[in-house]
C-alpha cells in the first residue's frame, strides 16, 4: 500500500520547467550618435539623436543648442535622410555658382560738377579747327617739297596714358561682383520674408522651429546687405576714379 501511495505522488508531481537559455543581446544604435534630417527643399537639420515620430511630426532636439523642435513628415526627404545617415556618408558639396554676366548700365549725369577748362568760344574754335584740319607749312623758297608720311592715329587715352582696354577690364570685374551681390541680396530678402510670414504654430516645438528659421534667414540677409554695400562702394569708387583720370564714360559700359 505504501509503495502504491509513493507511485501516485511521483506521477502527480509537475514536470520541471525548462530553463531559458541566454540569447544574443538586442541590437541598439550607438549611444550619442547624431541624426541628420534632410528636408524637401534641401535644408539639413542635425539632431542629437534620431527624432521620434508623433502624429505626423518628427520631434527631437537640435544638436548644439538643444532646442526642442518638430518637423512635419511631409517636408522630410526620406531617401536623402537615409543616405545622409548611412555609414561613411559625407556632406554634399554645393554646386559652383555660374560666373556673373555683366549687364549694361547707365552713368548718372554729372551736372554742374563738371567745369570746362576753356571758354565756349575757345572750345568752338578748337572744334572748327579739328574739322578743317591743320594746314601744311609751306616749304622754304628754293626747296622741293617732299612727300610726308601720313600721321599715325593714336588710340585715345586718359590723363595717365591708360586706354580703353584697361578701364573695360576693371569695370567688367567690379561690375560683375556688384551684380552678383544685388542678386544675392534680393534672394536673401525673399527668403527672410517667406520665413517671417510662415505659420507660427501652436505648440512649443513649432514656435521654436519658427524662431530658429527666422533667426537664420535674418543672419543670411544681413550678410548679403553688407556684401552688397561693399560691392556698391567699390563700383562707385571706380566710376569716380575714371572721371578724375579723364577716361571716357563709354569705357565703363
pLDDT at 214: 85
Beta bridge partners of 59: 52, 70
The label of the residue with cell 555658382 reads 97
As a CATH number, domain 35-84 is: 2.30.30
pLDDT at 19: 36
Residue 200: which of 218, 213, 189 has the closest Cα? 213
Other beta carbons less than 10 A from residue 64's beta carbon: 9
pLDDT at 68: 87
Per-residue pLDDT reduced to its tens digit, 207-228: 778 788 888 888 999 999 999 9
Task: Tell me the HSE value of 197 on the side-chain side, using a 13 A CA sphere.
Answer: 6
pTM of whole model > 0.75? no
Burial of residue 54, with CB atoms counted within 10 A of its CB: 0-12 exposed, 13-18 middle, 19 or more buried: exposed
Which residue ranges make up each domain of the chain?
A: 35-84, 163-253
pLDDT at 66: 83
CA distances from 64 to 42, 74, 225, 232 (A): 20, 25, 28, 37
pLDDT at 86: 87
Torsion of CA 237, 238, 240, 243, to 10 degrees: 170
- Residues in the chain with pLDDT < 50? 1-29, 106, 149
pLDDT at 152: 72
Amino acid at each position: 500500500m505504501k509503495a502504491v501511495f509513493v507511485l501516485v505522488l511521483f506521477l502527480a508531481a509537475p514536470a520541471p520547467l525548462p530553463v531559458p537559455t541566454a540569447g544574443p543581446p538586442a541590437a541598439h544604435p550607438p549611444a550619442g550618435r547624431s541624426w541628420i534630417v534632410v528636408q524637401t527643399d534641401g535644408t539639413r537639420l542635425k539632431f542629437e539623436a534620431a527624432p521620434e515620430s508623433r502624429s505626423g511630426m518628427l520631434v527631437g532636439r537640435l544638436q548644439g543648442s538643444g532646442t526642442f523642435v518638430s518637423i512635419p513628415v511631409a517636408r522630410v526627404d526620406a531617401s536623402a535622410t537615409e543616405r545622409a545617415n548611412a555609414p561613411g556618408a559625407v556632406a554634399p558639396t554645393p554646386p559652383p555658382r555660374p560666373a556673373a554676366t555683366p549687364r549694361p548700365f547707365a552713368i548718372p549725369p554729372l551736372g554742374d560738377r563738371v567745369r570746362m577748362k576753356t571758354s565756349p568760344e575757345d572750345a568752338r574754335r578748337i572744334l572748327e579747327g579739328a574739322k578743317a584740319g591743320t594746314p601744311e607749312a609751306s616749304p622754304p623758297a628754293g626747296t622741293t617739297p617732299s612727300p610726308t608720311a601720313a600721321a599715325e592715329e593714336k588710340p585715345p587715352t586718359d590723363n595717365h596714358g591708360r586706354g580703353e582696354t584697361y578701364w573695360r577690364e576693371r569695370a567688367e570685374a567690379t561690375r560683375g561682383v556688384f551684380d552678383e551681390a544685388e542678386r544675392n541680396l534680393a534672394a536673401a530678402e525673399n527668403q527672410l520674408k517667406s520665413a517671417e510670414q510662415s505659420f507660427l504654430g501652436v505648440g512649443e516645438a513649432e514656435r521654436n522651429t519658427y524662431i530658429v528659421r527666422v533667426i537664420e534667414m535674418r543672419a543670411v540677409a544681413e550678410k548679403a546687405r553688407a556684401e552688397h554695400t561693399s560691392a556698391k562702394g567699390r563700383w562707385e569708387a571706380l566710376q569716380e576714379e575714371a572721371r578724375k583720370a579723364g577716361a571716357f564714360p563709354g569705357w565703363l559700359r
